[in-house]
A and B are shown apart, each in its own frame.
Chain A
Amino acid sequence: MAAVLALSAVGLSLTFGVMRVVNVAHGEFFMLGAVLAWVVVQAVPSAPLGFVAALILCPLVVGAVAALADTAILKRLNYDPEATIVATIGISYILQQGALSFFGPDARAVEAPFSLRLQFPWFGYSGYKLFVVIAAGLVLLAVWLFMTRSRAGLVMRATQVDRNTARAFGINVDRVYAGTFALGAALAAVAAVLIVPIQQAHYLMGHDPLLLSFIVVIIGGLGSIRGTLIAALLIGLSDGIISMFFTPTLAKIVATLAVALVLVFRPQGLFGARA
């Protein structure tokens, strides 16, 4: 789904853009969000209330886990680009095995908070899916406003440009990094909570979103939020349409081809600034 994909991809793009960290564990933060959503929904008896609780709590918990991972691991590596790739691979295994031990190998379904079918003359549409699109759009809008209008967003953008000069203007770069890593992971978690009523929670579910997010981020241009959004729409829609009329495999082939073409002809991405 394009909307959810965009959320997850923007999270990945933020982390790379501001910190120059390729977060291989991004998919596992997504998975953690989905699994926690199931836990929260089980714990809260009333269905809509449980879902709302999950939508608020899961990103917070996942963000906190990410901030901890940043301070405990990535900071110690001095954010060296290669070392952090290896480290986030490690984090992804820890998260995956942790989910397996506590949650078990079974896929768990989460009920949609409401079931409403919109009946148009030519096709039916699930009300929940429409809600997901709107919710994801609102979250993306909030991220956009946060990055462009708030002081914290300004500080993040300045750090992204030049961390040493940012330090010379009183910016605590360690804190910005922890916050960015947390925000990126929290966005993956929001995407995951929105998606669990459609796709079940499972400890291996992180692979697909990771791969798709990478595809989106590469096509859109690493670190460019606007490019990421547009690429998410393109990939999400083309994936949906090609899967529906042809096969999902063809959709993946097309996406991979698109990545290859972008890498060859426009390595900075369709909208990315030259590094």
Chain B
Amino acid sequence: MLVIEGLTAGYGGAPVLHGVGLGAAPGKVTCVMGRNGAGKTTLMRAIMGQLRASSGTIHLDGEALHGLPAHEVPRHGVALVPQGRRLFGPLTVAENIEIGLMTRRKGRAVREHVLDLFPRLRERLNQQSRTLSGGEQQMLALARALCLEPKVLLLDEPTEGLQPSMIRLIRDTVLKLKATGVAVVLVEQRVEAVLEVADSVAFMAQGRVTEVLPAHGLTPQSPQFATWVGV
């Protein structure tokens, strides 16, 4: 269980996040929604330890993650699929996967399992990752994160700019991970996509979590979407 309490963090100037609280349970998908600039990406980066939190705590299964150097956080089992994918572009597909495997010292078995999830990557192992199509790049970003066998998977707008078939593949992957007990935190702007997978939805605005609701009470017409996402 990932538990964030009272998290205040920013980029050195004024804080961007103001006392954010959020929980993510194993086998559940927690969606985070909010307008551009609400602080969703900043929250993901703060969880990864890339931003100094001026106050607040982050715990994973009772262990404190706040205050750890950024490279220690993933070793505790938190994996990130960053917004915009952020692959190591000049590196090959195989090398990107290798970096993922090194994070938590996973071996061949994990590599094979991950490549079985995305067979198209297996055909392109020696290709520079920046030459992949957008959809393939997103598969690789997911694969690289899954190489950690994470307890918590943070997905920051993974469907941005992708075709419907790729969006379905990502949805199916998220559901598979949920079934294996991963705690998924999904930042997503599209209401239908959220309602397909979410167990709960957290709405953010101006660096605060304004509302957290169970997904089963929400429909595309729920007023929260209009208020916090503007759709």
Contacts and interface: CB of A to CB of B under 8 A. Distances in A.
A248 B45 CA distance: 54
Interface in A170-185: 170-173
Given A154-B91, A161-B91, A170 B104 contact: yes
Nearest to B95: A154
A187 B148 CA distance: 35
B69 A172 contact: yes
Interface stretch (B25-33, B74-82, B177-185, B215-223): B74-82
Given A151-B102, A154-B99, A173-B71, A168 B80 contact: yes
Interface in B15-49: 45, 48-49
| Residue of A158, A168, A172, A173 most packed against chain B (CB within 10 A) | A168
B50 A169 contact: no
A168 B90 contact: no
A169 B103 contact: yes
B86 interface: yes
Chain B: interface secondary structure? loop
A256 interface: no
A46 interface: no
Contacts of B89: 161
A161 B102 contact: no
A72 interface: no
A101 B148 CA distance: 53
A151 B192 CA distance: 42
A168 B82 contact: yes
A145 to B, nearest CB: 15
A208 interface: no
B91 A168 contact: no
A165 B88 contact: yes
A173 B82 CA distance: 18
Contacts of A166: 71, 88, 99
Nearest to A170: B103
B88 A170 contact: no
A157 B148 CA distance: 20
Interface string B53-74: 0000000000000000111111
A162 interface: yes
Contacts of A158: 88, 91, 95, 99
A164 B75 contact: no
B98 interface: yes
B10 interface: no
A244 interface: no
A170 B74 contact: yes
Contacts of B104: 170
A151 B95 CA distance: 10
B207 interface: no
B144 interface: yes
B100 interface: yes
Contacts of B86: 162, 164-165
B77 to A, nearest CB: 11
B71 to A, nearest CB: 5
A164 B82 CA distance: 10
Contacts of B100: 169
A59 to B, nearest CB: 27
Q: Closest 10 interchain pairs by CB?
A: A170-B103, A167-B70, A165-B86, A161-B88, A169-B103, A172-B71, A158-B88, A168-B80, A170-B74, A167-B71
Given A154-B98, A161-B88, A162-B88, 15 more contacts: A151-B98, A154-B91, A155-B99, A158-B88, A158-B91, A158-B99, A161-B89, A165-B88, A166-B99, A168-B48, A168-B73, A168-B74, A168-B79, A169-B100, A170-B72
8 contacts: A151-B102, A157-B88, A166-B88, A169-B102, A170-B103, A171-B71, A171-B99, A172-B69
Interface of A: 151, 154-155, 157-158, 161-162, 164-173, 273
